[in-house]
Amino acid sequence: MTTDVTLSGLRDMPMSEVETSRKDFTSDQEVRWCPGCGDYIILNAVQGFLPALGLKRENIVFVSGIGCSSRFPYYLDTFGMHSIHGRAPAIATGLATARPDLNVWVVTGDGDALSIGGNHLIHAMRRNVNLTILLFNNRIYGLTKGQYSPTSEPGKITKSTPAGSVDYPFNPISLALGAEASFVARTLDSDRAHLTEVLQAAVTHRGTSLIEIYQNCPIFNDGAFDVLKDKDQAEGRLVRLRHGEKVQVGDREWVHDAHNDNPSQAFEISRLDDATMAHVPIGIFRQVERPTYDDQVREQVAQARAQSGEGELAALLSGRDSWSVA
Amino acid sequence: MWPICHNLRRRLESTEAIMRPQEMGSVAKQVQQLDQVVIRFAGDSGDGMQLTGDRFTQETASFGNDLSTLPNFPAEIRAPAGTLPGVSSFQLHFADHDILTPGDTPHVLVAMNPAALRANVADLEAGATIIVDTHDFTGRNLTRAGYAENPLEDGSLDRFHVHAFDLTGLTVASVKQFGLSRKDAARAKNMFSLGMLSWLYGRPVDSTRSFLEQRFANAPDIRDANLAAFNAGWNFGETTEGFAVSYQIKPAPMRSGRYRNITGNLALSYGLVAASVRSGLPLFLGAYPITPASDILHELSKHKRFGVVTFQAEDEIAGIGAALGASYGGSLGVTTTSGPGISLKSETVGLAVSLELPLVVVDVQRGGPSTGLPTKTEQADLLQAMFGRNGEAPVAIVAPQSPGDCFDAALEAARIAVTYRTPVLLLSDGYLANGSEPWLLPDVETLATIEPNFADKPNHETETGDHSFWPYQRDPQTLARAWAIPGTPGLEHRIGGLEKADGHGNISYEPANHDLMVRTRQAKIDRIADTIPALEVDDPHGDAAMLILGWGSTYGPIGSACRRLRQQGMQVAQAHLRHLNPFPSNLGEVLRAYDTVVVPEMNLGQLSLLVRAKYLVDVVSYNQVRGQPFSASELEDVFTTTLKEMHS
C-alpha cells in the first residue's frame, strides 16, 4: 500500500527508508486488558496497519487520557504519552501545532472523550487540528468498575444507577458533526478489514479525524454490540456508508455524499442510530477539506518571517521609545 | 528627618504662598524646582485616564526622571458613567532621584468629574493640589457621585489647592474647527488635560504628538482634534492665570546605558521571548484570557517573527495541556493565567511534575478567593503554587520584584524549567503587571544561555550488551532526567502520569520504587538551590538587629520604608526572595542572624508560614489584603514600632 502524501495528513512527516513490520511497533510491555476485551483487536489492527503507513516510527506519537483504552500507547513502540483524564486532545493540539513532522494520534474512550474531556474534544474538531482520534466506545466506565457513561442507554442499570440511568446519552457521531469535524467515521472492533480501511482514510485526511469504534467490554457491558456482530442480524442492521455508493434503509435510497460541505445530510444519517440499533450506519459519514488550525498557525509564523525577517532580540527589547543615559 | 514627600509638600505650599495669581500680572511665570511629584489622573473608565497616564509616563521617562506607576481600574469595562464604581485612575511618581514606589499619597489629583474627585480625595493630604474639570459639577452628576452639595463651593476642599477649570468646555472650543459631534469633541479632554499637565511639569511633548499621529492615522479628524486639544491644553497652562508657576524636576542620575519604560507584563513577555532565543527552543504559549494576565497573550501574539506560537485555548486546562504537549515536542511550553486559572491547571501541573517536562506556569496574582478582585493586586497564591496539587508534587517557584525585573524572573523560570525538566511557577501580580518603571536594557549577548541537552542516543546498556533508552535515567548533578523528543530515532519510549520505575520508566507499582521516585523528584527540586545565588542582605552598616524579609512586588514599598528608617538614623536590614522554592541555601543562616525578622505580605502570612515551618524562626508577620500595594509610610510605621518594641 502506498500513500499519496501531497495533500494528506501525512505531509511533512518523514517516510521510513526501511520496511517495518508489526514487530517494530510492538513494545516490550505486557498487555493488561481483560481477556476478551475489544481493545486487543483494535491494538492488533493498529499494529498491523502502522507498517503500511510507511512513516518513520520515531515520528509517530500516541497520546491518551485515562481509562482502559488510554493504556494503548504503552503497547506501541512509538513515542507516547499516557496523560490525564480527558485532556489528551488539548495536549495533542499543542504537540501537533508545534511539530508538523509528527503523526499524532489520540486514543480515548467514551468517558474520557465525551464526559470529562468533552470540551477539548469538540474544540479540537472545531479547530480541525491535524490529529487522528480513536474513540473507543463501550458505553460503560470500565477502569472504575462499571458506572454508566455518557453513551450508556437510558434506563441502564449499573453500580451507580441501581434504579436505572436517567441520563440521556450522546451520539458521538452527531456530536462530531455538530462541531463540524472534517472527518467523522464509525467502525466496529470486530471488523478488522473495515477498521483498517477507515484508519487508512482517517490518518491520511488532513485535519481532525474522529473514528468512533464500537468496542465490547466483556466485564461490565458484555454484548453491547452483539446484534451488530451476529451473522444473521448484522447485515440487516448495519448501514454501510461509502462515498458515491448507494445506500438503502427501508424504502429510502440515496447516494452517499461524504464530501458535502454542509454536514446536515451526514447528521441526518447519524440519527438513524437509536437505542434499538435497528439501523446503525458505519463507515465515513463526512470527509471534507477545510484549512487546519495548525497549518494556519505555522503559515502565520512563516509569513511574519517572510515579511519582516527573523526577530532580533535587541531591537525588540529597546522598542521605539528608548533613551540613553550617559 | 522628614521623608522626602513631606519636604515636597512644604515646598509646594511655600511656592503657592508667594505666587498668588493676582500678583502675577503679565510677568513671565516662575519655574519652581521640585525633587519629586506624585500625580494621580482620575476619571470615568471611558475617559481615557490610562492612556493619559501612559503618555505622561512616556514623556517623563524620556525626560530622564526615575518613575514608578500604579494604574487602578475597575473590572467592569464601562461601569455607568459618573458613578464611583466607574472611576479609573493612574498614579505616577517621578523624581530627580532613585525611587521604588508609585508614591503613597498624590501631591496632585487630576479629577475629570465629581465621582473621580469623591473616589480619590480621601487619599490626599492637606496642602495637595487638585486640578478639576468643573464641567460635570452639576445637579444630577453630583448626586450620581453621592454629593449633596457641590464640593467646589461648600468649602469642603479648603485644605487643598484647587484649580477648577471647565476642561470639557475648553476642549470642545479648541477642536471646533474639525466639525466633530459634541460627544467626540469632548472625548479629547484627556489630551487637553495631558497638554496642560505637560506644560505644568515641563514634559517633552514630541513623543505624544507622534503617538497621536500614529494611533489615529486612519481617522484624520480624530487625529487632528486630539493634537489640537493637546496643544490647546499646553497653551492654556502657559497663559491661564490659574497656574502661577510651572515646575521642573531634574532628570535622575541613573546608571549609564539605554533605557525604556516597561510594564511587568511586557517585561515578562520579553523575558519569555529571550528565553526562547537563548535556549533555541521555540516558544509556545497556551493561554485562556484572564485579567490581569491577558496582556502577555496579546504581546506574545505579536512576535511570530521569533517563531512564537500563541494558542488561545478553549479553557485554562487546555491552555496548559497544549503547552505541555508542545514542551513534550521540544518547545518552551508556557501557560499564563491568574489565580482561578491556576486552580484549574493544577492537575496538569501535577502531570508535568510526573512526566518531568519543562513548563513555565505564569500566575499574575490578583485578589482572591474565587473571582475575587480581578483588577486588584494580592500575593495570596504562594501556598497554592507550593502545595496546590495531589500527592507529593514539588515545583520550583520564582517571583519578580519590580516591573522590569519580570524580564529576569521569566528568564530564570525558563532556565530552571529546561535544566531540571520541571514545571516552574512564576508568581507575578497585578501591581507588577500593570505598573511600570524605567528599565535598563540588558546586553542580549550576556544573557544566560539555556541548554536543553536533548538525549540523542541510547543511555543504557543491558547485561546482554544491548543499548536502549531510559527516559528516567538522571544527570547525577542535577537529577534531571534524560529528555528525548519525538522524532529522535531509536529513542521511542512512553511516559505517563502513572508511577514509573526508576531508570527505564515503565509503569511500576513497587512500593520501594514509589518511595524512591517521590524522594527523587523532591531532591531534584531541592538541588536547584545549588545553582541559585545566596540571598543578599542589604544592611548598610552591618549592625541591624531587625531584618525585613519580602518576596514579589512588595520590594518597592519595603525598600522605600527601609530608606526612610535609615534616614532617621535607625538600623534595618532588607532581604528579598527571588526563589520561593527552593529557598536560597543561606536563608536559614540569614534569618537566625537577626533578633527580629518582619515579613510583610499582601496575604495572611504565607511566606511566614513557610519559613517558620522550615527554619523554626518565629518571624513577625505583617499583612494586608486591600487589593493595593503597601504604602511606604505604612511599612515605615510598622518597622519603626517593631524596632521600638525590640528596645523596650
Q: Rounded to an integer, what distance in angstroms lies between the CA atom of residue B528 and that of residue B358?
A: 14
A112 Cβ neighbours under 8 A, 6+ residues apart: A64, A65, A66, A67, A69, A70, A85, A86, A88
Residues of A with CB below 8 A from B335's CB?
none
B494·A74 Cβ contact <8 A: yes
- Residue A321 is predicted with a pLDDT of 84
B322·A58 Cβ contact <8 A: no
Nearest to A247 by CA among A198, A281, A210, A270: A281
Q: What's the gap in Å between the CA of A172 and the closest CA on chain B?
A: 20
Give residue-wise pLDDT tens across range B136-189: 999 899 999 999 999 999 999 999 999 999 999 999 999 999 989 999 899 999
Alpha-carbon torsion, ordered B110, B112, B115, B119, to 10 deg: -20
- Residue B592 is predicted with a pLDDT of 98
- Using the structure block, give the residue that is written with the C-alpha cell 493586586: B377
Nearest to B347 among A77, A84, A98 (CB): A84
Instruction: Name the residue of chain B whose CA is nearest to A122's CA.
Output: B314
Alpha helix (H) residue ranges in A183-270: 192-204, 226-229, 231-237, 264-270
Please return the burial class of B343, using the count of CB atoms within 10 Å of its CB with bins 0-12, 13-18 and 19+.
middle
- What is the overall mean pLDDT for chain B? 93
Q: Could you tell me whether strands B257-263 and B436-440 are parallel, antiparallel, or unpaired per DSSP bridges?
A: antiparallel
A14 Cβ neighbours under 8 A, 6+ residues apart: A55, A56, A59, A101
H/E run at residue B558: helix B555-567
Residues of A with CB below 8 A from B261's CB?
321
Q: Answer yes or no: are the C-beta atoms of B342 and B362 closer than 8 Å.
A: no
Residues of A with CB below 8 A from B284's CB?
94, 97-98
DSSP assignment of B494-527 equals: EEESS-B-TBT--B---HHHHHHHHHHHHHHHHH
The amino acid occupying position B645 is: E
Residue A7 banded pLDDT, cuts 50, 70, 90: low
- C-alpha cell recorded at residue B621: 508577620
- Residue B19 is predicted with a pLDDT of 35
Give residue-wise pLDDT tens across range B521-536: 999 999 999 999 999 9
Q: Rounded to an integer, what distance in angstroms lies between the CA atom of residue A128 and that of residue A183?
A: 9
With b meaning 16 or more CB within 10 Å and e meaning fewer, what string describes B469-485? bbbbbbeeebbbbbbbb
A193 Cβ neighbours under 8 A, 6+ residues apart: none
Phi, psi at residue B273, to the nearest 5°?
-65, -45
DSSP assignment of B89-128 equals: EEEEEEESS---SS-SS-SEEEESSHHHHHHHGGGPPTT-
The average pLDDT across B289-307 equals 98
Residue B439's beta-bridge partner residues? B260
Residues of A with CB below 8 A from B442's CB?
317
Nearest to B325 by CA among A209, A295, A97, A55: A97
Pick the CATH number of B260-446 from 2.40.110.10, 3.30.930.10, 3.30.9.10, 3.40.50.970: 3.40.50.970
Residue B648 banded pLDDT, cuts 50, 70, 90: confident
- Best of A99, A123, A126, A305 to disrupt the B interface (most B CBs within 10 Å) is A99
- Residue B5 is predicted with a pLDDT of 34
- Residue B10 is predicted with a pLDDT of 36
Give residue-wise pLDDT tens across range A254-284: 999 999 999 999 999 999 998 899 999 999 9
A119·B318 Cβ contact <8 A: yes
Give residue-wise pLDDT tens across range B464-507: 999 999 999 999 999 999 999 999 999 999 999 999 999 999 99
- C-alpha cell recorded at residue A228: 451488530
- C-alpha cell recorded at residue B238: 502657559
Cα three-residue angle A64-A69-A71, rounded to 5 degrees: 65
A256 Cβ neighbours under 8 A, 6+ residues apart: A241, A242, A243, A244, A245, A246, A247, A269
Instruction: Name the residue of chain A whose CA is nearest to B499's CA.
Output: A82
Nearest to A82 by CA among A94, A69, A95, A93: A69
H/E run at residue B561: helix B555-567
Q: What's the gap in Å between the CA of B341 and the closest CA on chain A?
A: 16
Cα three-residue angle B552-B558-B559, rounded to 5 degrees: 105
Q: What's the gap in Å between the CA of B334 and the closest CA on chain A?
A: 11
Reply yes or no on whether the pLDDT at B621 is more than 70: yes
Q: Rounded to an integer, what distance in angstroms lies between the CA atom of residue B250 and that of residue B64?
A: 8
Instruction: Name the residue of chain A whose CA is nearest to B206's CA.
Output: A321
Cα–Cα distances (Å) from B141 to A204, B123, B136, in that order, read 66, 22, 6
Residues of A with CB below 8 A from B347's CB?
84
B309·A78 Cβ contact <8 A: no
Strand blocks (E) in B313-395: 332-337, 359-365
- C-alpha cell recorded at residue B616: 523554626
More confident residue, A82 or B30: A82
3-state secondary structure of B431: helix
B321·A63 Cβ contact <8 A: no
- Residue B465 is predicted with a pLDDT of 92
- Residue B327 is predicted with a pLDDT of 98
Q: Rounded to an integer, what distance in angstroms lies between the CA atom of residue A38 and that of residue B336?
A: 41
The amino acid occupying position A311 is: G
- The CATH-assigned architecture of domain B537-647 is 3-Layer(aba) Sandwich (3.40)
B322·A27 Cβ contact <8 A: no
A73·B261 Cβ contact <8 A: no
Cα–Cα distances (Å) from B362 to B291, B292, B513, in that order, read 13, 11, 32
Q: Rounded to an integer, what distance in angstroms lies between the CA atom of residue A298 and that of residue A102?
A: 14
Q: What's the gap in Å between the CA of A235 and the closest CA on chain B?
A: 40
Of chain B, the percentage scoring pLDDT greater than 90 comes to 90
3-state secondary structure of B400: coil
Please return the burial class of B24, using the count of CB atoms within 10 Å of its CB with bins 0-12, 13-18 and 19+.
middle
Give residue-wise pLDDT tens across range A184-202: 999 999 999 999 999 999 9
CB pairs under 8 A between A and B: 202
In eight-state DSSP terms, residue B27 is: S
Instruction: Give me the interface pTM, i.e. the ipTM.
Output: 0.97
H/E run at residue B51: helix B49-63
Asked if B260-446 and B537-647 have one fold, the answer is yes
3-state secondary structure of B440: strand
Nearest to B34 by CA among B57, B55, B14: B14
Reply yes or no on whether the pLDDT at A2 is more than 60: no
Q: What's the gap in Å between the CA of A277 and the closest CA on chain B?
A: 34
Nearest to B270 among A78, A92, A316 (CB): A316
Topology of B24-249 in CATH?
A: Pyruvate-ferredoxin Oxidoreductase; domain 3 (3.40.920)
Nearest to B529 by CA among B578, B590, B574, B594: B578
- Using the structure block, give the residue that is written with the C-alpha cell 514600632: B641
Q: Answer yes or no: are the C-beta atoms of B440 and A317 closer than 8 Å.
A: no
A268 Cβ neighbours under 8 A, 6+ residues apart: none
Q: Answer yes or no: are the C-beta atoms of A238 and A282 closer than 8 Å.
A: yes
Nearest to B68 by CA among B263, B290, B214: B263
The amino acid occupying position B181 is: S
Q: Could you tell me whether strands B332-337 and B283-287 are parallel, antiparallel, or unpaired per DSSP bridges?
A: parallel
A91·B496 Cβ contact <8 A: no
3-state secondary structure of A60: strand
Q: Answer yes or no: are the C-beta atoms of B463 and B434 closer than 8 Å.
A: no
Q: Domain ranges for chain B, please list them.
A: 24-249, 260-446, 453-531, 537-647
Residues of B with CB below 8 A from A316's CB?
270, 273, 303, 306
Give residue-wise pLDDT tens across range A25-53: 999 999 999 999 999 999 999 999 999 99
- Residue A78 is predicted with a pLDDT of 98
In eight-state DSSP terms, residue B556 is: H
In eight-state DSSP terms, residue B438 is: E
Nearest to B388 by CA among B332, B440, B337, B461: B337
Among A146-155, B3-12, B110-119, B488-497, name the one with the lowest average pLDDT.
B3-12
Residues of A with CB below 8 A from B327's CB?
94
B259·A324 Cβ contact <8 A: yes
B304·A300 Cβ contact <8 A: yes
Residue B11 banded pLDDT, cuts 50, 70, 90: very low
Phi, psi at residue A200, to the nearest 5°?
-60, -45
